[in-house]
Structures are given as C-alpha cells and as structure tokens.
Amino acid sequence: MLTRLFVIALALLILTGASLADWDDAAGRGLIPFWINTPTHYTVLVFINGSEEYHDVLHLRFCNTEGDFCSDTTSDMFSIRDDEMLMFSTRENPPPLFNCTHIHVTAPHGYAMFRPLSGGFIHAFAFIVNEITGQLVTVPVHYQDSGF
C-alpha cells in the first residue's frame, strides 16, 4: 500500500513538474530590444536549438518601455525540438520567405524577454527589418542575469 502511494506521489510530482512548468520555472533567461512595429518596420526573433539531442520549451513575452507586458501572456509557450529553428515576427503577415509566427504586440517599441524551460542550448538573434529599403539590423541578445 505504502509503495503504491509512493509511486503515485512520484508520478504526480513528475507530471506537475513537466506539464505545469511555466514562465517562472524557466531555467534560462534572456532579453532583446524590438523596434518600431509599424507598416515599414518590424522585428524578427530567431531561436535555434543548439542541442542535437534535447528539445525545450520557449516562453516569449514583449514588454513596452516601462516593462509592462504588451503581448499575449496566455499563449507564449512554444516547443522547440532538437536542432530546430523557430521564428517570430511582430508583423502580422510577414513575407513568405520568413516562416514566422506572428506575435501581436501593442507597443511600437520596447524589448522582448524569453525563457527556455530547461535552460538548454538555445541561441537567439533579432533582426529589425526595414521593408522599404530592405535594410536589416542585427541586435545581439543578452543573458538577463548578466550585465553591468
């Protein structure tokens, strides 16, 4: 009887850890600015899973200049498989060459925070695109817990 209870408790513990892990449970944290979400400018965020064996879960939230969330926080969870590349755009219908998921952002500029759940080898880049001139700017991503 005690053994069964122990097994059930252990299973519940594992299930709770795996399925209910959320934004606050994430092991790695980074941030990056986004800029000018207007008809001529938009930002593309690129995440690449450097791990060749493990998948992870990404949470992604955009903040305005005061640090308040300006994207939907209920649907910010994305699974990223090993070796996979995920892209997100602040523009609603990005050109077909950018196979991005659209994230609706209510602020024209600010910064994006992201958190991988297991803290694997997720690499991130941001590209700010000017559609009229075709100019692209790369913005480096910083680890949230480091800095000056």
Partner 1 sequence: MRKVLLCIFALLLIHTTLFANWHDARSRGLIPFWINAGHFYTLLVFVSGNEQTPDTIHVRFCDDNGYFCSDTTGDMFAIRSRDMLAVTTKRKSGNPRLPVWMPTTASYGYAKFRARDGLPIHACALIINELSGATMVVPAYNQDTGF
Distance CA 12, CA 111 (A): 37
For partner 1, the binding residues in 7-66 under the rule CB under 8 A are 28-30, 46, 48-50
User: Across the strands, what pairs with 63?
Assistant: 69, 111
Residue corresponding to tokens 């949470």: 59
Of 16 and 40, CB closest to partner 1: 40
Total residues binding partner 1 (CB under 8 A): 37
Confirm or reject binding of residue 120 to partner 1 (CB under 8 A): yes
Distance CA 45, CA 85 (A): 10
Distance CA 133, CA 52 (A): 37
State the nearest-atom distance from the C-beta of 132 to partner 1, in Å: 10
Of 58 and 107, CB closest to partner 1: 58
For partner 1, the binding residues in 69-98 under the rule CB under 8 A are 81-87, 97-98
Q: What is the DSSP string of 40-106?
A: SEEEEEEEEE--SS--EEEEEEEE-TTS-B-B-SSS-EEEE-TT-EEEEESSSS--TTS-PEE--BS
Interface with partner 1 (CB under 8 A), residue from 20, 53, 66, 140: 140
Of 38 and 99, CB closest to partner 1: 99
Of 91 and 115, CB closest to partner 1: 115
Q: Tokens for 5?
A: 């209870």
Binding site for partner 1 (CB under 8 A): 28-30, 46, 48-50, 81-87, 97-99, 114-116, 119-125, 127, 133-138, 140-141, 143
